[in-house]
Amino acid sequence: MTTYTICIFTENTIGLLNRITIIFTRRRINIESLTVSETERKGISRFTIVIKHESREEVEKLVRQIRKIVEVLAVFGYLNDEIVYNEIALFKISTSLGTKSLDVETINKQYKAWVVYWGLDYVVIEKTGNDTEIFEVFAYLKQYEILEFVRSGRVAVGKTEKGLVEYLPEAEWESYM
Amino acid sequence: MEAIANVMPEVIETKPAPTYINGSHALMKALLAEGVETIFGYPGGAIMPVYDALYDYQDQLNHILVRHEQGAGHAAEGYARVTGRAGVCLVTSGPGATNLVTAIADALIDSTPLVCIVGQVAKKLLGTDAFQEADVMGVTMPITKWNYQITDANEVPEIISKAFYIAQSGRPGPVLIDITKSAQLELMTKDFVYEKCQTLISYRPRLVPKQEQVEAAAQLINAAKRPYILVGHGVQIAKAEDELKAFAEKTGIPIATTLLGQSTIPTNHPLYVGWLGMHGNYGPNVMTDHADVIIAIGMRFDDRVTGDASKYIKQAKVVHIEIDPAEIDKIIRADVPVVGDAKAALNALLPLVKPNDHTVWRNEFRKYDAVENETITVPELTNTNGKIRMAEVIDMLSTKTKGESILVTDVGQHQMMASRYYQFRRPNSLVTSGGMGTMGFALPAAFGAQVGAPDRQVVAIIGDGCFQMTLQELGTIVQNKQPVKAIILNNNFLGMVRQWQQLFHERRYSFVELQNPDFITIAKGFGMAGQTCTERDNLSDALDTMLNHDGPFLLEVIVEKEENVFPMVPAGASVAQIRLK
């Protein structure tokens, strides 16, 4: 199984999320994570969808089917080494009396994670990184009482102009930026 | 008082209050601006303001009241297929819209342009499970090319123009516009201005293919020893029949068609070798495995054409001419994709291809034709024992109509027989439900085709099972005085299912026998003339009576009960494993 990151640029319209995810559902492809936000251009959204798949050919077909949606401007499919990508994880750790005291220095220096909120009897630690790095922090923090753990979807930008599969509109892409 | 009078100007300039129109009237104006002449529809609560507006436009917009919303959808499909313009449906919310769903799905898979306008509950009731509220946007999202919910009357002109543009351009397809009752009723807050949509930022179908693709294709075609053209529905959609003929005649390459590609080229054209697929002709199927270059034009390698795709045309290089890039490499990998409209692509190819003598290669098809003729065609057409065979009916109809009719077929054995034995002479003459295989399609679609092509003879070929799915549209045909001729090939069976049960399920005929009503009495009840033909000797007269009848006519022909359609590529087999019996 190879991890693919699919970046979809769309017009920002109601129901489009549904239209896009149906394409994955019909082909029985599970979405590992999905992030949507508006781009630097007003009215244009960027979906970042992570999937795992055995066949690159199937991913290429998927990209073409997504491009077919009327409101979709462009679709790029990337392998991990072609993108700069990150996720954010938040750990809520109990600091109530009697619990093991937190080794903030190790958390900062070794794991590059930061305490971003001090509650009365808990702290919130933020870690930005790829999933491996995040789960390393998780493994380390397990010695403390983890009250809550949440991880965002992947955000990614391509290292090169084009991905392994790309579908652009007929006109020059630059004119839309 | 005097002072005030002195400052008043002598003439007071007044501006008339703006008279903005409501969403329903805007919709009417938008449809007229798109050149719509005919609407197939059925009124109901949530579309009533639109129907109220329609009352004022009766002399410009011909509304046809169907008997069921599914009928509206299929009629609009029939209309769209023969005219090349979008068929327009108008129905109410909830059940009105969900009844349309089958036709929408059918139109998507067969690339038929539809604009479906569907009423919706008022904006403030959205999501409250209000009376006749259904999430039509959600339901139709996977089966439309585009859909949109109008919640503001001001959106009407822009959205309707987008709808027609999307439905009719590129690879055509159905578009659904869900319009809330509040948007139908409320006044626009600006003047109605209509601009025809010409382009969209995110949707730009490529019409003219890239020159390098065309050149690569020409190179492959010119070097081919055994080239073979496979033609799909896309050629007729692009109105590229003449270009196809010119291309084939210049290069001498044999042409086979898919089911929906039939009638693209006259059946008697010397380069036409037959049709492909599960029940297609013997030679065209087998020979796909002998070709060295396949030129697939406007077709999508449906599984009914390829059989087992993993064993299909492994030996051949493939040139795939197709307007929808998502079809390239979807089923069969293309060595040279040519993304563009079939007409533009063939025009670009024509000067680059060279004349070639492919007589020897073409004659190889004829050997298989002889086998098929001897084993299947001749016995089916010259049978003198037992009940009438479906093939005889179609063959005789073909002779009597000189292959000039528009044939509209339903789905099943009769559909395959109609395709096998009708000798098409004119383009755009077969309207059938190919991809979806929708039973009940033919009667309403034949009606729609007749409305779209009033000068042509439309004959529907329908099975007894199919007929009972939408027979209420007889009422629509009679009320609108359309001279549709319908032939029921009655074998008291769901024939194709029975055939499969016979061949692959040890004759375990599970729920396929029908106790049928008296179809002719039903037709007469609707006010339509009709007759039943049971004897071979009466068939010719019965067909003459039907064809000469002034007005719609239903002819029921009692046919052989257990008859099979051959050749046949069993599901999942390769095309080379095509069976003759």
Domain with residue A125: its CATH number is: 3.30.70.1150
B552 domain residue, yes or no: yes
Q: Are A168 and A63 in contact (CB under 8 A)?
A: no
- Rounded to whole angstroms, the Cα distance separating A15 from B57 reads 33
Peptide bond into B567 cis (omega under 30): yes
In terms of Cα–Cα distance, which of A154, A115, A102 is closest to A133? A154
Cα-based distances in Å from B515 to B464, B465, B563: 10, 10, 18
What pLDDT was estimated at residue B95? 98
Q: Kindly state the average pLDDT of the residues B165-181.
A: 98
What pLDDT was estimated at residue B17? 76
Q: Which residue has the tokens 């009928």?
A: B71
A17 domain residue, yes or no: yes
- Rounded to whole angstroms, the Cα distance separating A47 from B296 reads 35
Whether residue A14 and residue B149 make contact (CB cut-off 8 A), yes or no, is yes
What pLDDT was estimated at residue A100? 87
B202 domain residue, yes or no: no
Q: pLDDT class for A161, splitting at 50, 70, 90?
A: low
- Rounded to whole angstroms, the Cα distance separating B520 from B526 reads 10
A163 domain residue, yes or no: no
A90 and A61 housed in the same domain: no
- Number of domains into which chain A is organized: 2
**Number of helices (H) and strands (E), helices first, in chain B?**
25, 18
**Distance, C-alpha A163 to centroid of its chain:** 17
pLDDT at residue B3 above 80? no
Of A18, A61, A73, the CB nearest to B202: A73
What pLDDT was estimated at residue A33? 96
What pLDDT was estimated at residue A172? 40
Residue in chain B nearest A12 by alpha carbon? B202
Q: Are B262 and B424 in contact (CB under 8 A)?
A: yes
Angle formed by the axes of helices B413-421 and B495-504, nearest 10°: 100
B237 and B150 housed in the same domain: no
Q: Kindly state the average pLDDT of the residues B288-292.
A: 96
Q: How far does A62 lie from chain B, in Å, by closest CA?
A: 9
Best residue in B137, B169, B201 for a mutation probing chain A (most A CBs within 10 Å): B201
Residue A72: CATH number of its domain: 3.30.70.260
B198 domain residue, yes or no: no
Q: How far does A71 lie from chain B, in Å, by closest CA?
A: 5
DSSP string, B90-109: EE-STHHHHHTHHHHHHHHH
- Chain B residues whose CB is inside 8 A of the A169 CB are 201-202, 204
- B352: Cβ–Cβ under 8 A, 6 or more apart, which residues? B214, B215, B218, B222
B401 domain residue, yes or no: yes
CA angle B508, B511, B514 (to 5 degrees): 125
What pLDDT was estimated at residue B201? 86
Whether residue A170 and residue B204 make contact (CB cut-off 8 A), yes or no, is yes
- Rounded to whole angstroms, the Cα distance separating B90 from B29 reads 15
Span A60-95, pLDDT tens digits: 899 999 999 999 988 998 999 889 999 999 999 999
A33 and A100 housed in the same domain: no
- Chain A residues whose CB is inside 8 A of the B210 CB are none
B536 domain residue, yes or no: yes
Q: How far does B246 lie from chain A, in Å, by closest CA?
A: 29
B495 and B433 housed in the same domain: yes
Residue B374 DSSP symbol: I
Span B68-82, pLDDT tens digits: 999 999 999 999 999
Q: Kindly state the average pLDDT of the residues B431-451.
A: 98
- Chain B residues whose CB is inside 8 A of the A22 CB are 141-142
Whether residue B328 and residue A60 make contact (CB cut-off 8 A), yes or no, is no
Whether residue B326 and residue A171 make contact (CB cut-off 8 A), yes or no, is no
Whether residue A73 and residue B324 make contact (CB cut-off 8 A), yes or no, is no
B258 domain residue, yes or no: yes
Interface of A with B (CB under 8 A): 10-11, 14-15, 18-19, 22, 26, 57, 60-61, 64-65, 67-68, 70-73, 167, 169-171, 176
- A35: Cβ–Cβ under 8 A, 6 or more apart, which residues? A47, A48, A152, A153, A154, A155
Whether residue A70 and residue B141 make contact (CB cut-off 8 A), yes or no, is no
Of B145, B149, B328, the CB nearest to A70: B145
* Residue B339 in tokens: 């993304």
Give the end of a domain, one of A37, A63, A79. A79
- What's the per-residue H, E or C state across B412-474? CHHHHHHHHHCCCCCCCCEEECCCCCCCCCHHHHHHHHHHHCCCCCEEEEEEHHHHHHHHHHH
Residue B289: CATH number of its domain: 3.40.50.1220
Span B369-387, pLDDT tens digits: 999 999 999 999 998 889 9
A150 domain residue, yes or no: yes
pLDDT at residue A173 above 50? no
B393 and B351 housed in the same domain: no
- Number of domains into which chain B is organized: 3
Q: Kindly state the average pLDDT of the residues B232-239.
A: 98
Query: 10 Å Cβ neighbour count for B440?
Result: 25
Q: Kindly state the average pLDDT of the residues A129-140.
A: 96
Span A53-69, pLDDT tens digits: 999 889 989 999 999 99
Report ipTM (2 d.p.). Answer: 0.88
A67 and A27 housed in the same domain: yes
Q: Kindly state the average pLDDT of the residues B30-58.
A: 98
- Rounded to whole angstroms, the Cα distance separating B326 from B320 reads 12
In this structure, are strands A72-79 and A165-167 parallel, antiparallel, or unpaired? antiparallel
β-partners of residue B409 are B432, B461
pLDDT at residue B496 above 90? yes
- Chain A residues whose CB is inside 8 A of the B137 CB are 15
Ramachandran category for residue B296: left, alpha or beta (phi over 0 → left; psi -120 to 50 → alpha): beta
B536 and B451 housed in the same domain: yes
The burial class, CB within 10 Å (0-12 / 13-18 / 19+), for A164 is middle
Whether residue B142 and residue A15 make contact (CB cut-off 8 A), yes or no, is no
- Chain B residues whose CB is inside 8 A of the A18 CB are 138, 141
Q: pLDDT class for B260, splitting at 50, 70, 90?
A: very high
Q: pLDDT class for B9, splitting at 50, 70, 90?
A: low
Provide the residue type at A6 as one letter.
I
pLDDT at residue B355 above 70? yes
A160 domain residue, yes or no: no
B243 and B134 housed in the same domain: no
A63 domain residue, yes or no: yes
A161 domain residue, yes or no: no
Catalytic residues of B: 69, 131-132, 181, 496
Whether residue A70 and residue B149 make contact (CB cut-off 8 A), yes or no, is no
A27 domain residue, yes or no: yes
Span B323-339, pLDDT tens digits: 999 999 999 999 999 99
Least confident of A139-143, A157-161, B117-121, B414-418: A157-161
Give the end of a domain, one of A47, A79, A111. A79
What pLDDT was estimated at residue A169? 47
Whether residue A67 and residue B325 make contact (CB cut-off 8 A), yes or no, is yes
Q: How far does B547 lie from chain A, in Å, by closest CA?
A: 45
B359 and B436 housed in the same domain: no
Whether residue B326 and residue A67 make contact (CB cut-off 8 A), yes or no, is yes
How many pairs of residues across A and B have Cβ atoms under 8 Å apart?
Answer: 51
Of A14, A65, A72, the CB nearest to B202: A72
What pLDDT was estimated at residue B487? 98
- Percent of chain B beyond pLDDT 70? 98
Give the end of a domain, one of A79, A98, A114. A79
Whether residue B326 and residue A169 make contact (CB cut-off 8 A), yes or no, is no
* Residue B112 in tokens: 């038929």
Q: pLDDT class for A42, splitting at 50, 70, 90?
A: confident
Q: How far does B197 lie from chain A, in Å, by closest CA?
A: 14
Q: What average pLDDT does the structure give for chain B?
A: 96
B177 and B217 housed in the same domain: no
- Rounded to whole angstroms, the Cα distance separating A31 from B325 reads 24
What pLDDT was estimated at residue A177? 33
A30 and A66 housed in the same domain: yes
Q: How far does A101 lie from chain B, in Å, by closest CA?
A: 50
B579 domain residue, yes or no: no
β-partners of residue A52 are A3
A172 domain residue, yes or no: no
DSSP string, B200-216: -SS-----SPPHHHHHH
B82 and B165 housed in the same domain: yes
Whether residue B137 and residue A15 make contact (CB cut-off 8 A), yes or no, is yes
B430 and B486 housed in the same domain: yes
Q: Kindly state the average pLDDT of the residues B140-146.
A: 97
- The number of C-alpha atoms within 13 Å of B212 and in the hemisphere containing its C-beta is 0
Q: Kindly state the average pLDDT of the residues A155-160.
A: 89
- Chain A residues whose CB is inside 8 A of the B166 CB are 70
Of B147, B201, B330, the CB nearest to A73: B201
In this structure, are strands A31-38 and A44-53 parallel, antiparallel, or unpaired? antiparallel
**Domain ranges, residue B117:** 23-185
pLDDT at residue B252 above 60? yes
B133 and B227 housed in the same domain: no
pLDDT at residue B21 above 60? yes
- Chain B residues whose CB is inside 8 A of the A73 CB are 201-202
Provide the residue type at B76 as one letter.
A
Q: What average pLDDT does the structure give for chain A?
A: 89
In terms of Cα–Cα distance, which of B51, B168, B173 is closest to B103? B173
B300 domain residue, yes or no: yes
**Domain ranges, residue A149:** 84-155
A75 and A136 housed in the same domain: no
Of A14, A26, A61, the CB nearest to B330: A61
A64 and A108 housed in the same domain: no
Residue B31: CATH number of its domain: 3.40.50.970
B450 and B546 housed in the same domain: yes
Global pTM value: 0.94
- Rounded to whole angstroms, the Cα distance separating B434 from B438 reads 8
B309 and B417 housed in the same domain: no
Q: Are B281 and B565 in contact (CB under 8 A)?
A: no
